[in-house]
Amino acid sequence: MGAHNFTGGEKLQAKLAEMAEKVSHPATLRVGFLEGATYPDMPRKALRKAYKKRKKSEGAIQGAKGGVLVAMIAAIQEFGAPSRGIPPRPYFRRMIESKSPKWGAGVARQLKETNYDAEKTLGLTGAVIKGQLQQSIRDLVSPPLAESTVARKGFDKPLIESGHLLASVDYDVKT
């Protein structure tokens, strides 16, 4: 890489400080499978059979109300479980790779449109990213399902079975 010359550093710092003063209050956006999302209709026995988990690891996959955590199933699908014949299906990473380059500009635009209301801006941004993640789940087709899985489900769409994973994508804003 060649050398770069930057000018106007003081003006940039002043503008950033001015914008920071306008932001209503700091906030954090989380998008994905949040801690309250469970599969209440999937008993532990079914999960043990499906993923052959050992008893000592069940606590990590069970929610407070006894249902299986959607985040655990989502992670298994994202990263795979090769020893169990489940290949990685990186729907989340692919969405981030393709969509995240535009998130910064979207946040900047929303900040201006909301008069620098961070909570409102991140709420609007969260809704957009949630939709992008859901679309990524819908769009994923590779690697294809095993023939036995297609026969059991009756269709060949990876990541879609009951629709619960898709419906569990959510976001929140913490202030």
The answer for residues whose C-beta is within 8 angstroms of residue 72's C-beta and 6 or more apart is 60, 61
Nearest alpha-carbon partner for 67 in 84, 47, 50, 83: 47
pLDDT tens column, 18-38: 777 777 677 899 999 998 898
pLDDT tens column, 156-170: 999 998 899 999 999
pTM assigned to the model: 0.76
pLDDT by residue for the chain (175 residues), tens only, comes to 455 555 667 877 777 677 777 776 778 999 999 988 988 765 555 555 555 543 344 445 555 555 789 999 999 999 999 998 899 999 999 999 999 999 999 999 999 999 888 899 999 999 999 999 999 999 999 999 999 989 999 999 999 988 999 999 999 999 8
Write down the H helix ranges in the chain.
9-22, 44-51, 70-79, 91-99, 103-113, 118-139, 147-153, 164-167
Could you tell me if 136 and 91 are in contact, meaning their C-beta atoms sit under 8 angstroms apart? Answer: yes
Strand (E) or helix (H) holding 55: none
